[in-house]
Amino acid sequence: MKNLLLFIALLFCAPVFAQQLPTRWDELSAVDWPAALAKSNKTCVLPIGILEKHGPHAPLGNDLIHVREIAARVVKNEYAVVFPDYFYGQINEARQQPGTFALPADLIFKMLEATCDEIGRNGFTKIVIINGHGGNPEFLHFFMQNLLNKRHNYAVYLYEPSNDPEYNKQMAALHKSDPSYDMHAGERETSTIMALRPDLIHVERAGEQSGEDQKRLKLTNLYTPIWWYAGFPNHYAGVGGKASLELGRVIVDHEIASFTKALKDVKADTQTLKLQNEFYDKVDNLGKN
């Protein structure tokens, strides 16, 4: 009778335990692993940020904190496993500022592929990268294309939200500063972290340095890697002091809704890996017939 009651109690508690399954990789136990793989449909979210100055008022890990917090909120309702903090991206343009963590290009490339390989080795077949750093897209696009260099038993998806006219209208109505140079630690980024982690933002310091374009280079149809430093030597572009909680909440709500949809699509996707394997098979058999 005692065993029967214990069985019934465990039966009723099982859904509760399932709901409490941690979402962060580092908070799961080895015993949790099969359940996490099943519940996530073998999907792992990889938030990528950076460590760099964000004006005089925002945290060095601003970009990482941003995507980490968005991912944490999304997976509460759409379960996936979130990889621990990853800040190994491209940030050479901020090496003159204290707190910047910049690694060689070949190393960050190898580290990201090795990380994806290890995520795949642990049973995940779908890896979703959500990037928070404006200096990473070129690196990430090249990385994504280069994944076809050899067979992988997983698919990688780079989340890139599409243009949303209705959201743009909401943003324009609330935006107080010039959006043309609201690029780094300005009103938008500061508002976002204000909504996610208000304890890390010091708006009162935002006016201590200039975030205006210094326009120290006058080149037409030419690109140079020093362009950012030439324009924004303080590693600050925008007016962080114009940030508002209202704008931050609009941004955060939109990002959560958008990433939730993308994550659902990834979890339901059966074609990407199939087509990837078809591609690898044709590469392997090229010239054999």
Give me the mean pLDDT over the 215-238 stretch. Answer: 96
Write the pLDDT tens digit of every residue in 246-284. 999 999 999 999 999 999 999 999 999 999 999 999 999
- Please provide residue 31's backbone torsions phi and psi, each rounded to the nearest 5 degrees: -70, -30
pLDDT reported for residue 33: 98
- For residue 167, tell me if it sits in a domain: yes
Which of 12-21, 39-48, 183-192, 209-218 shows the lowest per-residue confidence on average (mean pLDDT)?
Answer: 12-21
- For residue 83, tell me if it sits in a domain: yes
How confident is residue 5, by pLDDT bands cut at 50, 70 and 90? Answer: very low
- For residue 12, tell me if it sits in a domain: no
pLDDT reported for residue 166: 95
- For residue 13, tell me if it sits in a domain: no
Give yes or no for residue 149 having a pLDDT over 90.
yes
Half-sphere exposure at residue 76, Cβ-oriented, CA atoms within 13 angstroms: 8
pTM of the model as a whole: 0.91
Nearest to 127 by CA among 25, 44, 23, 26: 44
Write the pLDDT tens digit of every residue in 36-75. 999 999 999 999 999 999 999 999 999 999 999 999 999 9
pLDDT reported for residue 7: 46
CA–CA separation, 50 and 27 (whole Å): 22
Domain count, the chain: 1
Average pLDDT, the chain: 93
Q: Residue 222's CB: how many other CB atoms inside 10 A?
A: 7
Give residue for tokens 């962060």: 24
Half-sphere exposure at residue 1, Cβ-oriented, CA atoms within 13 angstroms: 0
Nearest to 171 by CA among 236, 88, 253, 275: 253
Q: Which two tokens stand for residue 85?
A: 């903090």
Give yes or no for residue 134 having a pLDDT over 80.
yes
Q: What is the CATH number of the domain that holds 153?
A: 3.40.50.10310
- Please provide residue 131's backbone torsions phi and psi, each rounded to the nearest 5 degrees: -100, 135
pLDDT reported for residue 11: 47
- For residue 197, tell me if it sits in a domain: yes
Give me the mean pLDDT over the 168-186 stretch. Answer: 94
- For residue 64, tell me if it sits in a domain: yes
- For residue 280, tell me if it sits in a domain: no
Q: Which two tokens stand for residue 230?
A: 């030439």
In terms of residue numbers, what domain contains 215? 22-269
- For residue 200, tell me if it sits in a domain: yes
Q: Which two tokens stand for residue 54?
A: 């964000």
pLDDT reported for residue 261: 98
Q: How many residues does the chain have?
A: 289
* Distance (Å) of CA 210 to CA 186, 191, 195, 274: 11, 18, 23, 51
Give yes or no for residue 14 having a pLDDT over 80.
no
Q: Which two tokens stand for residue 236?
A: 């600050």
* DSSP string covering the chain: -HHHHHHHHHHHHHHHHHHT---BGGGS-GGGHHHHHHHTTSEEEEEE-----BTBTB-TTHHHHHHHHHHHHHTTTS--EEPPPB--S--GGGTTSTT-----HHHHHHHHHHHHHHHHHTT-SEEEEEE--TTSHHHHHHHHHHGGGS--SSEEEE--PPP-HHHHHHHHHH--S-GGG--BSSHHHHHHHHHH-GGG--GGGGGGS--S-------SS---TTHHHHH-TTS-BS-GGG--HHHHHHHHHHHHHHHHHHHHHHHH--SHHHHHHHHHHHHHHTT--
- How much of the chain exceeds pLDDT 90, in percent? 91
How confident is residue 287, by pLDDT bands cut at 50, 70 and 90? Answer: confident
Q: Which two tokens stand for residue 275?
A: 């087509």
